[in-house]
Amino acid sequence: MNDKIKDLKKQIEAEEQKISNCRPHKFDKAFYNPETVRESYGCKMVAQGSDVWSEPEGFHNVTKDRWTRKCTLCGHEEHTYTQKPIISGYEPSF
């Protein structure tokens, strides 16, 4: 078990070294990569003794717009949730 952990740590260090040595990154064109997040809805009051607080009624999945770009040299990924306007529409803003 310890050998496996050591091997994984070595792999992580190698990947981190690869990313830190890749300056500047060379990114491909950004692509749309939506993310699913859990969002709460509703509100219910909960009381215990003299303490009163509110909790969500429940949760549902929401798709959040996200764009990703990946370095062609080391595989490092960057994500953004914003866009900037251009003449013919919008493009991701990193």
Distance between CA 19 and CA 71 in Å, rounded? 9
Distance between CA 80 and CA 32 in Å, rounded? 10
pLDDT of the residue at 89: 75
Residue-range domain boundaries for the chain = 25-92
Mean pLDDT of 37-54: 93
Q: Give Cα separations from 21 to 18, 55, 69 (angstroms).
A: 5, 46, 18
pLDDT of the residue at 86: 75
**pLDDT more than 70, % of the chain:** 99
pLDDT of the residue at 35: 94
Distance between CA 76 and CA 79 in Å, rounded? 10
Q: How many CB atoms lie within 10 A of CB 6?
A: 10
Per-residue model confidence as pLDDT tens digits over 55-81: 999 999 999 999 999 998 888 889 999
Pairwise pLDDT comparison (64 vs 89), residue with the higher score: 64
